[in-house]
Amino acid sequence: MKQFNVKNHVLAPLTILLVLFLWFAPASMFHIDGLTVVQQRTIAIFFYAALMWMFEIIPAWATSVSTIVMLLLAVSNKGFAKPEMGSLVNFKEIMAAFADPIIMLFLGGFVLAVAASKVGLDVYLAHILLKPFGHKSKNVLLGFLVLISIMSMFMSNTATAAMMLAFLAPVIKTLPENGGGRISLAMSIPIAANIGGIGTPIGTPPNAIAIGQLASEGIEIGFGSWMLRMVPVVAIMIFFSWRLLMRLFPFKAKTIEIVIDGKCNKDWKFWVVTVTFLGTILLWMTGELTGLNSNVVALIPFAVFAVTGIFERNDFAKIDWHVLWMVAGGFALGTSLNKTGLAAAMVEAIPFGSWSAIAVLIMAGLLGWLLSNFIANSSAANLLVPILAVIGTAMADNLAPMGGVTTLLVCVAASTSFAMLFPISTPPNAIASSTGLIKTHDMTKVGLIVGLIGIAVSYGVLLLFPF
Give per-residue pLDDT as tens, 347-370: 677 666 677 888 888 888 998 898
Confirm if 307 and 47 have CB atoms less than 8 A apart: no
Q: Average pLDDT, whole number, for the chain? A: 86
According to the model, what pLDDT value does residue 191 have? 95
Cα–Cα distance for residue pair 301/281, rounded to 1 Å: 10
155: left (phi over 0), alpha (psi -120 to 50) or beta: beta
Residue 432 pLDDT: 82
* pLDDT attached to residue 259: 63
pLDDT value at position 198? 95
CB 297 within 8 A of CB 56: no
The answer to which of 132-136, 244-248, 383-387 has the lowest mean pLDDT is 132-136
Quickly state the pLDDT bin for 71 (edges 50, 70, 90). very high
Arithmetic mean of pLDDT, 48-70: 87
- Check the CA dihedral 189-191-194-200 and report its sign: negative
CB atoms inside a 10 Å sphere around CB 14: 13
Contact predicate 97/324, CB 8 Å: no
- Type of residue found at 299: L
Q: How many helices and strands in the chain, by DSSP H and E?
A: 24, 0
More confident residue, 371 or 420: 420
Q: Measured between alpha carbons, how far is 326 from 331 in angstroms, rounded to an integer?
A: 9
- pLDDT of the residue at 422: 81
Alpha-carbon distance 412 to 410, whole Å? 5
**Who contacts 114 (Cβ-Cβ below 8 Å, separation ≥6)?**
311, 315, 318, 319
Residue 390 pLDDT greater than 80, yes or no:
yes
Contacts of range 27-34, beta carbons closer than 8 Å, 24 or more positions apart: 31/349, 32/345, 32/346, 32/349, 33/345, 33/348, 33/349, 34/345
Average pLDDT over residues 159-185: 75
The percent helix, strand, coil of the chain (3-state, each to 5) is 75, 0, 25
| Averaged pLDDT, 62-86 | 93
In the 3-class helix/strand/coil scheme, how is 54-73 assigned residue by residue?
Answer: HHCCCCHHHHHHHHHHHHHH
Q: Is the pLDDT of residue 1 over 60?
A: no
Predicted local confidence at residue 431, as pLDDT? 76
For residue 223, which amino acid is it? Answer: F
Q: Which of 194-208, 232-246, 341-355, 440-454 has the highest mean pLDDT?
A: 232-246
- Distance between CA atoms of residues 325 and 255, nearest Å: 45
**Predicted pLDDT at 233:** 97
Could you give the maximum distance between any two Cα atoms of the chain, in Å?
A: 75
Tell me which of 112-121, 124-133, 337-346 is least confident. Answer: 124-133
Region 127-133 average pLDDT:
74
Model confidence at 200, pLDDT cuts 50, 70, 90, reads very high
The DSSP H or E segment spanning 272 is helix 268-285
Q: Is residue 14 scored above 90 in pLDDT?
A: yes
Confidence of residue 90 (pLDDT cuts 50, 70, 90): very high
Residue 53 pLDDT greater than 70, yes or no: yes
pLDDT of 6 strictly over 90: no
Instruction: Note whether 428 and 189 are within 8 A (CB).
Output: yes
Stated as kind and residue range, the H or E segment containing 155 is: none
Nearest to 109 by CA among 225, 203, 234: 203
Residue 235, pLDDT score: 97
Residue 229 has pLDDT above 90, yes or no: yes
Work out the average pLDDT over 269-289: 85
CA 165 to chain CA centroid, Å, is 21
pLDDT at 313: 92
Q: What pLDDT is recorded for position 347? A: 61
Please say whether the beta carbons of 300 and 281 come within 8 A: no
Question: In this predicted structure, what is the pLDDT of residue 140?
Answer: 86
CA-CA-CA-CA torsion for 112, 99, 209, 464, nearest 10 degrees? 70
pLDDT at 126 > cutoff 80: no
pTM: 0.73
Cβ-defined contacts of 320-324 (< 8 Å, 24+): 320/110, 320/156, 322/59, 322/60, 322/61, 323/61, 323/106, 323/156, 323/205, 323/378, 324/98, 324/103, 324/106, 324/107
Where does the pLDDT of residue 300 fall: very low under 50, low under 70, confident under 90, or very high at 90 and above? Answer: very high
